[in-house]
Structure 1
């Protein structure tokens, strides 16, 4: 993945919608991406989620209702997101978030496919047994 360069778009606005659990990010090139908190949580760049190399990703289950409680800036290149499930070790750099935005649909479909293959649920554990439907 390409690192930050002077040409990397950077966020000009970051807005968290608590009710809908959507993080809106508008970049300097005019593109705006809407990230569900669940998407950002299951694709956290932390070692705990992404592993220490390709193919070592840890499938995150039961994160449908997760939200972001705090957004902390990290220098001029990233944000750290604090989620309601206590996860807070991923640093989301501008280029990572921009790439997420460009590839969000494909990444989400891959996540749903992996969940399906694992027979896992997006619902929190306490609800998983009662709600066995999937949402697009």
Structure 2
């Protein structure tokens, strides 16, 4: 496992810079949120992955270390279940352009948007869980 040599969060520009011995990567907060490693986003299998919409303005509100192998990021939209391993972050950095291009294609194909206020995103948003248990 390669450990990062430096990590910086820039809240004004909403960018995380992470450096490894063999590369430096700039990842936007939106990109990190869209590619969260959590089961809520990735699903338990690839066909269960959920398209993330309306995340353009998301920020990171908390960062916590997870042992010596990862970070837990909490986002302004309440998402906090992803554990970002050093390996995951390096993979995101190395493949950023391809991942982002595929994401934009998926958004376009779904008729969805990065804009949090776009009404086209409604069908993709999580519905609040009912407090009624069906009685």
Quickly name the TM-score band, shorter chain normalised.
0.7 to 0.9
1:55 Cα deviation (Å)? 2.0
Following superposition, the deviation at residue 30 of structure 1 comes to 4.0
The residue number in structure 1 matching 2:52 is: 60
Residue 2 of structure 2 corresponds to which residue in structure 1? 9
Task: Give the whole-Å Cα distance in 2 for the aligned partners of 1:104 and 1:32.
Answer: 12
Uncovered stretches (5+) of structure 2, i.e. residues with no partner: 120-135
User: Can you list the C-alpha shifts for 1:105-130, whole angstroms capped at 9, x where unaligned?
Assistant: 000000000000000010112xx26x
Moved over 2 A (4+): none
Alignment counterpart, residue 65 of structure 2, candidates 73, 79, 93: 73
- The 5 A counterparts of 1:1-136 are 8-27=1-20, 29-125=21-117, 128=118
RMSD: 1.0
SS at structure 2 position matched to 1:58 = coil
Distance between the aligned counterparts of 1:22 and 1:113, measured in 2? 22
Q: How far apart, in 1, do the equivalents of 2:101 and 2:95 lie? A: 10
- Name structure 1 gaps, 5 residues minimum: 1-7, 130-136
CA distance in 2, matches of 1:59, 1:30: 31
Counterparts of 2:6 and 2:62, CA distance in 1: 16
CA distance in 1, matches of 2:97, 2:66: 27
With normalisation by structure 1, the TM-score equals 0.84
Normalised to the residue count of structure 2, the TM-score between the two structures is 0.85
For residues 15 and 106 of structure 1, the distance between their equivalents in structure 2, rounded to whole angstroms, comes to: 23
1:56 positional shift: 1.4
